[in-house]
């Protein structure tokens, strides 16, 4: 009788652990390329419990865990005919991570009129307002890591 109880408790613990692992796998949020390794390890642990996670599902879980700044990357993947395996996805995400960490340079144009030939005491009226001057300023914007 004790052997049946131990077996039942063991199966119950395995089911509970499998549920926890599956929940973690489906709800994990991407935090750099090490997240892929963590998700792959979770899938391997589930496989030992006879709950194999198909590689296509794992790729989908990884893509769904990506934050919004990876939106263009995700959209690009969806337009491709080929499907990537986990290693290809990891390689591409490492490149995308590096691209996203580069500083973004924004530029702003300041425009104004240079008064040409303005006579003292005369107010601006209709007609020639002078040359248009454009100043350009660029400054790198660094994202918080």
Sign of the CA dihedral with 80 first, then 86, 87, and 93 last: positive
Residue partners of 30: CB distance under 8 A and separation at least 6? 62, 65, 66, 67, 70
Where are the chain's structural domains?
A: 2-101
42 φ/ψ angles, rounded to the nearest 5 degrees: -60, -45
Confidence class for position 104, pLDDT limits 50, 70, 90: confident
pLDDT band with cut points at 50, 70 and 90 for residue 44: very high
CA 92/CA 25 separation, integer angstroms: 20
Q: What is the average pLDDT across 134-144?
A: 59
Average pLDDT (96-110) is: 79
122 has pLDDT over 60: no
Whether 142 shows a pLDDT value over 60: the answer reads no
Tokens of 80: 């491709």
Whole-number pLDDT of residue 59: 94
For residues 4-28, give the mean pLDDT.
76
Q: What is the pTM of this model?
A: 0.61
Instruction: Identify which has the larger pLDDT, 78 or 119.
Output: 78
């Amino acid at each position: 009788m004790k052997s049946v109880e131990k077996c039942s408790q063991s199966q119950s613990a395995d089911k509970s652990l499998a549920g926890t692992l599956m929940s973690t796998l489906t709800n994990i949020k991407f935090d750099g390329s090490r997240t892929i390794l963590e998700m792959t390890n979770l899938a391997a642990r589930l496989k030992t419990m006879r709950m194999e996670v198909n590689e296509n599902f794992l790729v989908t879980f990884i893509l769904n865990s990506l934050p919004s700044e990876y939106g263009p990357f995700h959209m690009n993947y969806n337009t491709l005919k080929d499907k990537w395996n986990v290693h290809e996805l990891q390689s591409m995400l490492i490149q995308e991570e590096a691209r996203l960490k580069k500083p973004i340079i924004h530029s702003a144009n300041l425009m104004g009129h240079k008064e040409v030939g303005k006579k003292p005491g005369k107010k601006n009226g209709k007609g020639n307002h002078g040359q248009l001057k454009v100043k350009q300023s660029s400054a790198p914007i660094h994202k918080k890591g």
